[in-house]
């Protein structure tokens, strides 16, 4: 009774403390952060930290809490994010901290979850983000040169970085104020380009460090990929592997700011995939070899909404093959396997933070151990006794890419799969091996939801497929003028650089000039059997040529030469050019000079009297599209356009606007739209720009049938999606939807069929897992408390299979279950020679109707040993369904 009273009193005190902290704006009791050669020191204690990369503008505020919570549940201690200058200051001096750019709200959510924040202010971010995060107006500052010892740039950079640091301080978000911010970053991967700037680059980095330290943030600052970072700044590693990285001073800890757990995708390219066995191997090796801070880039990738995708040619999805997918769902087995890894690492943390360096033991030609011994000096007798029983943690690595090897360590034999690390928190018992995946595999499905309608008042109900297709034909359309469409156009001599004209207000810039063709030219072409040609030295990204309003040709690429035969009529002809950007350059040196549109000379060849140089001719310029600037996509303005009903037999047309309406899907599942029937363009929902779309197909070859995790990874190693459109499905955040009459507007450039567009709900539909008797007991039941409560690892339970569906979903059916020697893989399972007849009933009883379940993998759980002296495996395939769609019998 006394114990219970003490517990209640403790909980009441804890609740009161939390309440008082919330009222005062604090999320933690204020603490300081420093570092030594081994790790960050938080509130006086070294920490081994797992960080989850999450970029707040690539999700809606509605999604942030779930993403943060799933990051925490997955084992993260820290959230890491860039700060996006062009999102926060789109116009000089006019700041935006609302909606997806509400940085303070995002940070407060992190703090309220009990996580820390590493904020990468930059302000250059790269991140496959438009113009690397720089606002376009910055390139117009007189005399400016980006990222070098240049006074105008340094002035602007310091002003913005100070703005963010002051904001954090004013909102009491630093750790010493009770907030979650424990570390900042300035600049970003500058070492990759520093040599391009010579001595000025070196002076710039010194200035950056002094500037940052002078802002009074009072937390450590980091520079990634910066070998010459000053002594006051921690230099860190980015890459697929950083276990061999050493900072530029023995007094600095080993940090990994970007572990690329996938890769970004470009239009027309295959989709990268990094196997979790290799990813876990890289993380384990990093901590094995004295690393102490590791961040997944990305843990949640998200979406490049609007025109935020960088480039050129990066797609709208920024999924990145991350542990939390673009829609906010768990990607399995990546999330689950890493969660187990993080638990294993936390079990080792007491030894990792206690030891200044590990003991190295050679175990074989390509096998090695690193042993971390705990400091036995402690004032706690109980803890001292426990540490004497279990006074070290060990990592056993096999870096052989092909062979499994048995090694001797600490008087025992351990079998190490190829390219793997085993983790022994007590130097005796293996709790995790990076190559042995017990986490489930999840297969996401898109369930048919809604057709699209031209009728705002239409209320959609359940109906059959035929009724759906009829309503889906109800579209409205209006043509976009080709060429000059308003009095905002202007005429100038010569070819103007695109961004100087558009200021990136639009992807599109029109150029118009008139060409006179004589009868002699027409005769010359006929007699010589030649055609006149438009020749341009260099263009980017998409370039189209029109003659008298009709398309003559196009070019796609980054600064490619154009040689386009054309046909002119006798007399005056309109030569119309359209330059389109598909994301501004976001990496490399001198990006402010990269520009867009046309470089070099433009001329006409093949004329009777010789070539005609148009480079200094009079050109009329028109920025953007009529529908774009008249807001055809907005709820307020779209009815002002001259929409007409799209006829059933209409031929797909170019440069056309389309609109339709749809109702809010029931439930909470993410919403996705398939634009695979369209060509190239942009899409809006209720005035929100969901991004660019482009149905360009990836190469048919280059995707391996089976991905082998073994050996060093690169972005081309385990690609998928060959021969298919790079992206067909696009995320529509629920935050942007209303109960009914949701407006969908498309601008289509090349021709497509909107009647085939569908909207679906996205969820995990199929879950599979394979766990054998040789797997390790479940890590999720362990924590670092195992030392203080005296639990002995060797006394742990049998292996278990853990299955789970998305929130709001339950396991609705078990389609396959076999305990014995099942064969195959997910969706291709089959029974082996050894099988327990009650496998299906045991799993069904444990799992049906539940959001998650566990099944012990043992003979006792299934009531028999189906095959003596053989290692048994449990394989299961089940289905998840929304609780609103299924009913179970009582």
Residues noted as catalytic = 189, 258
Asked whether 651 and 597 are in contact (CB, 8 A), the reply is no
Residue 543: phi and psi, rounded to 5, are -135, 130
Contact of 84 with 95, CB cutoff 8 Å: no
Give the relative orientation of helices 276-288 and 334-354 as an angle to the nearest 10 degrees.
10
Residue written as tokens 């943060």?
A: 68
Residue identified by tokens 């010789």 is: 610
Contact 709, 435 (CB under 8 A): yes
Q: How far is CA 510 from CA 489, 583, 597, 616, 619, in A?
A: 9, 17, 10, 17, 10
DSSP string spanning 780-836? GG--THHHHTT--GGG----EEEEE--TTEEEEEEEEEEEES-BS-TT--B--SSB-
What CA–CA distance (Å, rounded) separates 50 from 323? 13
What is 284-304 written as a DSSP string?
Answer: HHHHHTTEEEEEEEEEE--B-
Q: From residue 535, give the alpha-carbon distance in Å to each of 10, 173, 516, 613.
A: 79, 57, 17, 10
> From CA 778, how far away is CA 763, in angstroms rounded?
26
Buried b (16+ CB within 10 A) or exposed e, 625-653: bbbbeebbbbbeebeebebeebeeeeeee
In angstroms, rounded to a whole number, what is the distance separating the alpha carbons of residues 660 and 741?
9
Q: Are 133 and 190 in contact (CB under 8 A)?
A: no
Alpha carbon distance 138, 124 (integer Å): 12
Q: Is residue 212 classed as helix, strand or coil in its secondary structure? A: helix
- Quick check: helix, strand or coil at residue 234? strand
Which element (helix H / strand E) includes 493? Answer: strand 490-493
Q: Among candidates 347, 346, 324, 326, which has minimal Cα distance to 334?
A: 324
Would you give the DSSP letter of residue 697? B
- Distances 5 to 19, 428, 711, 789 between C-alpha atoms, Å: 21, 39, 57, 21
């Amino acid at each position: 009774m006394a114990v219970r009273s003490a517990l209640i009193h403790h909980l009441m005190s804890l609740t009161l403390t939390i309440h008082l902290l919330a009222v005062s704006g604090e999320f933690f009791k204020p603490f300081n952060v420093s570092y030594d050669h081994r790790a960050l020191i938080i509130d006086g204690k070294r920490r081994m930290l797992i960080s989850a990369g999450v970029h707040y503008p690539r999700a809606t505020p509605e999604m942030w809490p779930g993403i943060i919570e799933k990051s925490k549940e997955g084992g993260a201690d820290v959230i890491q994010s860039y700060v996006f200058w062009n999102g926060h200051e789109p116009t000089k001096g006019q700041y935006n901290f609302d909606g997806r750019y509400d940085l303070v709200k995002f940070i407060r959510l992190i703090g309220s979850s009990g996580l820390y924040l590493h904020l990468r202010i930059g302000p250059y971010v790269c991140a496959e983000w438009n113009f690397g995060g720089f606002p376009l107006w910055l390139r117009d500052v007189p005399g400016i040169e980006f990222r070098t010892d240049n006074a105008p740039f340094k002035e602007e950079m310091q002003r913005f970085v100070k703005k963010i640091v002051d904001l954090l301080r004013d909102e009491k978000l630093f750790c010493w104020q009770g907030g979650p911010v424990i570390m900042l970053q300035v600049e970003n991967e500058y070492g990759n380009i520093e040599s391009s700037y010579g001595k000025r680059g070196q002076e710039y980095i010194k200035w950056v460090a002094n500037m940052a330290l002078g802002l009074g943030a009072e937390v450590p600052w980091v520079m990634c990929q910066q070998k010459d970072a000053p002594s006051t700044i921690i230099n860190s590693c980015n890459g697929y592997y950083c276990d061999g990285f050493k900072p530029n001073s023995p007094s600095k800890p080993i940090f990994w700011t970007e572990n690329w757990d996938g890769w970004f995708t470009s239009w027309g390219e295959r989709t990268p995939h990094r196997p979790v066995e290799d990813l876990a191997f890289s993380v384990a090796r990093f901590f094995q070899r004295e690393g102490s801070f590791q961040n997944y880039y990305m843990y949640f990738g998200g979406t490049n909404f609007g025109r935020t995708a960088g480039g050129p040619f990066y797609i709208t999805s920024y999924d990145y093959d991350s542990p939390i997918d673009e829609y906010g769902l768990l990607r399995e087995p990546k999330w689950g396997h890493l969660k187990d890894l993080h638990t294993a690492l936390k079990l080792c943390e007491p030894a990792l933070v206690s030891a200044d360096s590990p003991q190295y033991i050679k175990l074989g030609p390509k096998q090695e151990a690193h042993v971390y011994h705990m400091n036995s000096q402690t004032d706690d007798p109980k803890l001292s006794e426990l540490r004497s029983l279990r006074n070290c943690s060990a990592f056993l690595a096999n870096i052989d890419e092909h062979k499994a090897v048995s090694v001797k360590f600490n008087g025992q034999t351990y079998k190490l799969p190829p390219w793997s690390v085993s983790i022994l928190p007590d130097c005796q018992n293996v709790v995790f091996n990076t190559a042995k995946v017990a986490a489930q595999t999840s297969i996401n499905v898109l369930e048919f939801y809604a057709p699209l309608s031209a009728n705002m008042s239409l209320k959609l109900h359940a109906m059959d497929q035929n009724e759906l297709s009829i309503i889906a034909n109800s579209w409205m359309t209006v043509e976009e003028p080709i060429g000059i469409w308003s009095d905002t156009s202007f005429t100038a001599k010569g070819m103007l650089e695109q961004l100087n004209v558009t200021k990136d207000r639009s992807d599109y810039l029109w150029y118009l000039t008139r060409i006179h063709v004589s009868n002699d030219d027409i005769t010359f072409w006929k007699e010589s059997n030649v055609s006149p040609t438009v020749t341009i030295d260099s263009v980017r990204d998409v370039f189209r040529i029109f003659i008298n309003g009709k398309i003559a040709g196009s070019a796609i690429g980054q600064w490619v030469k154009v040689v386009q035969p054309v046909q002119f009529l006798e007399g005056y002809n309109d030569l119309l050019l359209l330059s389109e950007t598909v994301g501004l350059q976001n990496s490399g040196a001198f990006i402010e000079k990269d520009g867009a549109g046309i470089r070099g000379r433009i001329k006409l060849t093949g004329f009777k009297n010789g070539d005609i140089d148009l480079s200094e001719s009079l050109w009329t310029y028109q920025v953007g599209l009529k529908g774009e600037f008249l807001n055809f996509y907005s709820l307020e303005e779209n009815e002002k356009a001259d929409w007409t009903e799209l006829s059933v037999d209409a031929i797909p047309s170019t440069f056309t606007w389309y609109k339709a309406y749809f109702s809010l899907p029931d439930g909470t599942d993410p919403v996705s739209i398939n634009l695979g029937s369209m060509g190239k363009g942009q899409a809006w929902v209720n005035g929100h720009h969901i991004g660019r779309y482009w149905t360009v197909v990836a190469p048919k070859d280059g995707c391996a049938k089976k991905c082998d995790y073994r050996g060093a990874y690169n972005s081309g190693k385990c690609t998928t999606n060959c021969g298919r459109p790079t992206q067909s499905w696009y995320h529509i955040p629920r935050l942007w939807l209303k109960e009914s009459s949701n407006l969908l507007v498309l601008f289509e450039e090349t021709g497509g069929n909107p009647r085939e567009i569908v909207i679906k709900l996205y969820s995990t539909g199929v879950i599979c897992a394979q766990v054998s008797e040789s797997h390790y007991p479940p890590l999720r039941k362990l924590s670092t408390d195992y030392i203080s409560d005296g639990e002995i690892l060797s006394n742990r339970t049998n292996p278990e299979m853990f299955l789970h569906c998305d929130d709001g979903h339950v396991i609705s059916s078990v389609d396959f279950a076999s305990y014995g020697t099942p064969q195959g893989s997910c969706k291709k399972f089959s029974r082996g020679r050894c099988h327990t007849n009650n496998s299906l009933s045991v799993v069904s009883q444990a799992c049906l109707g539940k959001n998650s379940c566990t099944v012990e993998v043992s003979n006792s759980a299934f009531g028999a040993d189906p095959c003596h002296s053989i290692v048994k495996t449990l394989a299961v395939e089940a289905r998840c369904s929304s609780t609103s769609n299924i009913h179970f019998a009582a």
